[in-house]
Amino acid sequence: MHKPKPTDPNPSVGALEARLRALPQPAVPQDLERRLLASIPATPKARPRLRRIAPVVGLAAAACLVVVVVYSVAWHGREKNQVADLKPVHDNSQGKTSHAGNSGYFVWGRTVADFPDSLGPPGFAWPLAGTSPPASSCASRAISFD
């Protein structure tokens, strides 16, 4: 059987491009469209994750801010109360001075309320018994300049 020779045995790049563009495309199965349409999800897709979680993150941040503000206001209020508690109040009937309300007075991790009223806050004791800080004077003796 005679085989027909190709018209252009050595096509140029331009001719080859034209031939490629004119190449017949494969046939598409008829039921493919129907199957693809059937695969479309019926329910609307959820929004992207970032957009979905953004309001949640915003609300959480706002809640944190509110908590911080409330706590700081409460803290300042407590500090004011403590300062008022530490002001000495003179009791004329018993002739002694005491703190008006000492429940909030904090000493080394214990409140004054932990001690009996007669004792009051513990005094300071030198760590070495029988010793006292050496007497020192800032004044230089005159002999030093002789």
Partner 1 sequence: MTKLDERPAWQALRAGHPDACAELVRANYQPVYRFLVHLTRNIHEAEDLTQETFAAAWQRIGSFEGRATPATWLHRIAYSKFIDARRTQRRAADVLDQCPNRGGFPDPHEIVSAGDEVRRLHDALNVLDVIDRAPLVLHYLQGLSYREMAVVLEEPVGTVKWRTSEALHRLRALLREEVTEDAQTETNRS
Site string for partner 1, 65-84 (x = CB under 8 A): --------------------
Contact 79, 64 (CB under 8 A): no
Cα–Cα–Cα angle for 31, 32, 37, nearest 5°?
100
Q: Report d(CA 120, CA 60) in Å as an integer.
A: 46
Total number of residues binding partner 1 (CB under 8 A)? 37
- 6-45 residues in contact with partner 1 (CB under 8 A) are 6-11, 13, 16-17, 19-21, 23-29, 32-33, 35-37, 39-45
Least distance in angstroms from the C-beta of 64 to partner 1: 29
Q: Report d(CA 112, CA 82) in Å as an integer.
A: 12
Q: Is 141 in the site for partner 1 (CB under 8 A)?
A: no
100 Cβ neighbours under 8 A, 6+ residues apart? 84, 85, 87, 88, 89
Q: Is 135 in the site for partner 1 (CB under 8 A)?
A: no
Residues that bind partner 1 (CB under 8 A): 3-11, 13, 16-17, 19-21, 23-29, 32-33, 35-37, 39-48
